[in-house]
Structure 1
Amino acid sequence: MLRNTLKKGLIALSFAAFLSLPAYAKNVQEVKIVQDVKGNQIEIPTQVTRVADLWHANNQIVLLLGGADKLVATTDVIQKNPWFGEVYPNIKNVPALTNGQTVQMEELLQRNPQVALLSNAKMLDELKQAGLTGVLVSFQNFDGLKKTVKITADVLGDNAPKIAQEYIQELEGNIAFVEARTKDVKEQDKPSVLHISSGSNQLKIDGGKSIIGDWVNKAGGRNAFPDQANLVEVSMEDVLKANPDVIIVGSTDAQASVDKILQDANWQGVNAVKNKRVFVNPTGTFPWDRYSAEEALQVLWAAKLFHPNLFKDVDMVAKTQAFYKKYYNYALSKENAEQILQGLPPLK
């Protein structure tokens, strides 16, 4: 009798102790397997509430998937992005612990992330040595973008997989729409497109073997440097030989770079300059042209730019407003949508 009484008491005490444990301790044995972009199987907690996102671009995917409140560490580029801060003001309270190349490991350990999302393999090794779990995400084409969105959604859990599915359907729908409209455009009528990486260097370009090459092709254009990858330095002689019909400048200082190209004597022989077809690429919570979830808008914008007569009915202001409302729950004004399309920060 006494033994049974003691046994019941111990069970009651054990149950009470379990109830008093914090949520993360109760779920310590509850795990799931996710697969990174390299096909590696990685064990992570079933319920992930603390995420370090150490790849600039992927922070935007986390935002799109409704997981921004789970961020415990971000990057310097994201914390400085004016549109990210506008859409998600709390990013200013999330420590920026990497510049994309090095990570502040001691501070990261203090943030105690359950999972780190990153694209840098060397940084992943450092995380493993520190006892942290990392999941690689990266892409160079639309298929890779969709894969990275799915991986990020698997890590975040909750409603993220459903949002990922909706986003991928929209992305594929926009691509199919553009390809259907341009299917009868002859190869010689597709403009040759030079994409300059940023305004800081007019001779650093993004070639056809990159996500830039993918959207240029899908939007009915031809990359002026089809055999090059992204962020490649070329010569002025190379540019003159390629003689692009359209020039697009991405990232920072883009408008200043456009103005310089239009005025620079060295560029006056280029078709794009002769015909004043030199443009700034839109920039939102991340630049649309590079590793961006807003590639879903980029392909529409580029198609309208390359073939304005085929896409007169496409209202990019309205498309941008709808995207921001749907995925960021942010009511973007017409004026601010126009700012994004011009690669400018929010109106104050």
Structure 2
Amino acid sequence: MKRKRWLSTVVVMAVVISLCLGGCSVGASSTVSSTRMVTNSEGVEIEIPAQITKAAPAIGAFAQMTEIVGGPGMISAAATDNISDYFKTVFPDYLESNSNNYDTGSIEGVIASGTQVVYGPDSVYSDEQVAQLDQAKIPFVAINNIKNVEGMCESFKIIGEIFGEDGVKKAQDFVDYYQGNIEKAEKLTAKVDPANKVTIMSLRYAGGAYSTINGQDICNEYFESAGGINVAKDYTNTTSGTGLSVNTEQIVAWNPQVIMAFTKSAKDAILSDPTLADVAAVKNQKVYVCPYGVYNWSVRSGEGAMLPLWLGTIMYPDLFADTDMKQVVSDFFKSYYGYDISPEEIMIVLAGSSK
């Protein structure tokens, strides 16, 4: 009798312990937060969902960054005017994740897309639009520092934080690559006599007018890291789109040895302009189109990580003789886009014709 009672007690205790453990397990799971905090570029902490699978990069360059650090299938809305056909070729997942072509310029579209978080410069949205996002419980993470290499690296890291631990690792890996290419270009050109450095300028052409960039533009950092002297570094004038208006008299006075044109049509205009015929770059046929993959290399672009090396090959071919830009592009697309780019596509990218 005592044995039976003892066994019953053991059974009851086992059941109680099992229930307690089960309850404790459920309780522990319920305490796991469904949100976490990320810090925007202004140092403000923003609460976002713990796991992000639907994101809306507010500008074109951030769509490219999202594919690099967030991985495929994460973009639910984008700045669609800046999403090229080649972007869709390289990232076919985008056609599925944003199959309805939701544009970040439309708050209604962002909400309809099921987006969990939006990120980009404050200037993209008005206070009213940010309030609309807030009302829809969609956090906006401001990323404003995108004017220089340091800011671009910070931007990559913030976007990495948005996508969690794996995103953080991918962002740091890319930043290491980005800064590594700049350091490599600087090292190769470190011994160039300042008096012998190549003079260069960026030149755009639209609506019958030229524009350039000065030392405040991120591209100036690429010029200098590759051993170039930007003849327009200290230039100030009225803006023309994203550049500074400049006339042909000023270009002639600067007389750059190399000109980096923004597009093929700009290159053609420069080479055929009789008022520029005596400019060294024109006279010596050293006018080049900036490469363009899924985004232009000379602006706030992840592909800008390759620009210092490309600039080095055109300004100092002897110093950069071991730099094979075809291989650089191939490795970049494979490592950061997960895309096996063909030799024909590489030539198109390097010619700036993939837009």
Q: TM-score, normalised by structure 1?
A: 0.85
Deviation at 1:75, TM superposition (A): 1.1
Deviation at 1:52, TM superposition (A): 0.9
Aligned partner of 2:87 in structure 1 is 84
One of 336, 340, 345 as aligned partner of 1:336? 345
Contact kept in structure 1, 2:201 and 2:231, CA below 8 Å: yes
Aligned partner of 2:103 in structure 1 is 97
Q: Does 1:136 align with 2:145?
A: no
Q: What code does the residue aligned with 1:135 have?
A: V
One of 20, 34, 44 as aligned partner of 2:38? 34
Q: What code does the residue aligned with 1:320 have?
A: V
Aligned partner of 1:249 in structure 2 is 261
- Equivalent-residue separation in structure 2 for 1:116 and 1:39 (angstroms): 17
- Equivalent-residue separation in structure 1 for 2:271 and 2:293 (angstroms): 25
Aligned partner of 1:240 in structure 2 is 252
Deviation at 1:54, TM superposition (A): 1.1
Q: Does 1:54 align with 2:63?
A: no
Contact kept in structure 2, 1:261 and 1:273, CA below 8 Å: yes
Aligned partner of 1:304 in structure 2 is 313
SS at match of 1:159: helix
Q: Does 1:290 align with 2:303?
A: no
One of 118, 121, 126 as aligned partner of 1:116? 118
Unaligned runs of 5+ in 1: 1-7, 19-25
Aligned partner of 1:163 in structure 2 is 170
Query: Identity, % of aligned pairs?
Result: 27
- Equivalent-residue separation in structure 2 for 1:301 and 1:256 (angstroms): 20
Change (3 A) 1:257 1:183: same
- Equivalent-residue separation in structure 1 for 2:179 and 2:347 (angstroms): 24
Aligned partner of 1:125 in structure 2 is 127
Change (3 A) 1:201 1:115: farther
Change (3 A) 1:269 1:296: same
Contact kept in structure 2, 1:37 and 1:137, CA below 8 Å: yes
Change (3 A) 1:201 1:293: farther
Aligned partner of 2:155 in structure 1 is 148
SS at match of 1:38: coil
Question: How do residues 65-80 of structure 1 correspond to structure 2 at under 5 angstroms?
Answer: 65-79=69-83
- Equivalent-residue separation in structure 2 for 1:327 and 1:200 (angstroms): 36
- Equivalent-residue separation in structure 1 for 2:296 and 2:310 (angstroms): 13
Contact kept in structure 2, 1:209 and 1:228, CA below 8 Å: no
SS at match of 2:65: helix
1:235-273 alpha-carbon deviations (Å, 9 max, x no partner): 2222122221111112xxx11221221121011121111
- Equivalent-residue separation in structure 2 for 1:329 and 1:77 (angstroms): 23
Unaligned runs of 5+ in 2: 1-15, 237-241
Q: What code does the residue aligned with 1:114 have?
A: Q
- Equivalent-residue separation in structure 1 for 2:164 and 2:205 (angstroms): 35
- Aligned residue pair count: 320
Deviation at 1:219, TM superposition (A): 0.9
SS at match of 1:193: strand
Q: What code does the residue aligned with 2:354 have?
A: P
Aligned partner of 1:45 in structure 2 is 49
Contact kept in structure 1, 2:55 and 2:118, CA below 8 Å: yes
One of 264, 267, 279 as aligned partner of 1:258? 267
SS at match of 1:296: helix
SS at match of 1:279: strand
Change (3 A) 1:28 1:69: farther
Aligned partner of 2:109 in structure 1 is 107
1:149-189 alpha-carbon deviations (Å, 9 max, x no partner): 00000011252111111111111221111111101112222
Deviation at 1:124, TM superposition (A): 5.7
Deviation at 1:27, TM superposition (A): 9.5
1:1-51 alpha-carbon deviations (Å, 9 max, x no partner): xxxxxxx9xx9xxx9xx9xxxxxxx89942222122222221112211211
Aligned partner of 2:9 in structure 1 is none
1:309-345 alpha-carbon deviations (Å, 9 max, x no partner): 1011110001100111111111111221111000122
SS at match of 1:135: strand
Change (3 A) 1:232 1:141: same
- Equivalent-residue separation in structure 2 for 1:322 and 1:258 (angstroms): 28
Aligned partner of 2:13 in structure 1 is none
Aligned partner of 1:4 in structure 2 is none
The farther-off stretch of 171-180 and 311-320 is: 171-180
Deviation at 1:122, TM superposition (A): 5.3
SS at match of 2:78: strand
- Equivalent-residue separation in structure 1 for 2:345 and 2:74 (angstroms): 27
Change (3 A) 1:62 1:291: same
- Equivalent-residue separation in structure 2 for 1:84 and 1:276 (angstroms): 31
Contact kept in structure 2, 1:34 and 1:42, CA below 8 Å: yes
Contact kept in structure 1, 2:294 and 2:354, CA below 8 Å: no
